[in-house]
Amino acid sequence: MVKRTGLSDPGKELFTAYDKTTSKWDNFRFIDLFAGIGGIRLGFEAAGGHCVFSSEFDEDACKTYEANFGEHPSGDITKICAAEIPDFDILLGGFPCQAFSIMGKKEGFANETCGTLFFDIERILKEKKPPAFMLENVKNLAAHDKGNTFRVIKSHLEALGYHVYTKVLNALDFGVPQKRERIFIVGFLDDVRFSFPEPVPEEERQTLADVLETDVDKKYYVREVIRASRLKRIKDKNYPRPYISHENMSGLITPHPYSSALRAGASANYILINDERRPTEREMLRLQGFPETYKIVLPYGKVKRQCGNSVAVPVIKAIAKEMLTSLRDFERSKQYAGQK
């Protein structure tokens, strides 16, 4: 036990017996729901976590997940009994967003195939009561149905006893050249003080040049007629390279020194590098912040879909770090209170 004298109140002694090397949060357990290809898992493993259960419905995603993590996720979460899931400390879930996406039909809870999957998260939280959770979804979730959908989700989480924090974060602010805004929902059973991470300094962020490959196979290059059409419609014909252009709903081509959000169901050419070629599989993974060691085991179209459905790993890492800091601080405060 270390004895300290409080500077603001001379004579008052503060006692701290907290030792970070013995914190329960140095080796926590988490479950990876709607696991996709494991982007959320990577972020929480980096914070010291150990995955004890994963679930993913899409078999192609399971193949990629197994190739990289050595385990084949359990299947349809709606068919998994919550009581049979191993005990864990943090629930993680990037639950399907198509029902809430501004690019989709925006059916929300009316979409029986994925909009209601939030309630499977709810039943698992109710059964297992883990100390914390983190959920991820599209930015539009907060605005869907004039905010009613989000209010339902938040109220259900609070009714389970969780203190809930929410914020929209942009992957651009956390080191990858991709404009990807997503809403994150973090909750704690205890009254844990939590703040979402701050953006990383500009000088620590990757540029587009950092993620692009230099020797790219000709199969990624578009036909000349497509290239000519793009260049004819580009908003700024003198935009400096490298850039990634995005074709919007009206057909306008807009270049940026970063990628627009990778999308699972978008057309093959919705984003092009220098209006010449599609991003390679490795480049798409880099835009999401996946490590160079991540294995690519499926064809281009499936990798494109999986990257579009995944998360920006650096954002998850930053959130995980803040969550673990908050949980350790709360643990320390309880120990301090017990000494008084």
Residue of 287, 259, 262, 263 whose CA lies nearest to 273: 259
* Whether residue 118 sits in one domain with residue 42: yes
* Whether residue 320 sits in one domain with residue 224: no
* Whether residue 271 sits in one domain with residue 332: no
Q: Which long-range contacts link 102-108 to residues 24+ away (Cβ below 8 Å)?
A: 102/138, 102/139, 102/140, 103/263, 103/265, 106/140, 106/144, 108/144, 108/145, 108/149
* Whether residue 164 sits in one domain with residue 85: yes
* Whether residue 154 sits in one domain with residue 67: yes
Residue of 62, 58, 59, 40 whose CA lies nearest to 49: 40
* Residue 303 in domain: no
Measured distance CA(158)–CA(20) in Å, rounded: 30
* Residue 293 in domain: no
Residue 209 burial by CB count (10 A; 0-12/13-18/19+): exposed, middle or buried? exposed
In this structure, what CATH number is given to the domain that contains residue 101?
Answer: 3.40.50.150
Print pLDDT tens along the chain (340 aa).
333 334 444 333 443 444 545 788 999 999 999 999 999 999 999 999 999 999 999 999 999 999 999 999 999 999 999 999 999 999 999 887 544 444 444 454 454 334 468 889 999 999 999 999 999 998 988 877 777 888 888 999 999 999 999 999 999 999 999 999 999 999 999 999 999 999 999 999 999 999 999 999 999 999 999 999 999 999 898 999 999 999 988 889 999 999 999 999 888 899 999 999 999 999 999 999 999 999 999 999 999 999 999 999 999 999 999 999 999 999 998 887 766 5
DSSP 85: S
Measured distance CA(146)–CA(16) in Å, rounded: 47
- Reduced to 3 states (helix: H, G, I; strand: E, B; else coil), residue 64 is helix
Tell me the helix, strand and coil percentages in the chain, rounded to 5: 40, 20, 40
Range of the domain at 60: 2-204+309-339
What pLDDT score was predicted for residue 18? 47
* Whether residue 220 sits in one domain with residue 132: no
* Whether residue 237 sits in one domain with residue 160: no
Omega before residue 242 within 30° of 0, cis: yes
- The DSSP result for 113-126, as a single string, is TTGGGHHHHHHHHH
* Whether residue 146 sits in one domain with residue 257: no
What pLDDT score was predicted for residue 313? 98
* Residue 302 in domain: no
Count of structural domains, the chain: 2
**Which member of 51, 62, 81, 97 is catalytic?**
97
Give catalytic status of residue 114 as yes or no: no
* Residue 209 in domain: no
* Residue 27 in domain: yes
* Residue 270 in domain: yes
What pLDDT score was predicted for residue 113? 37
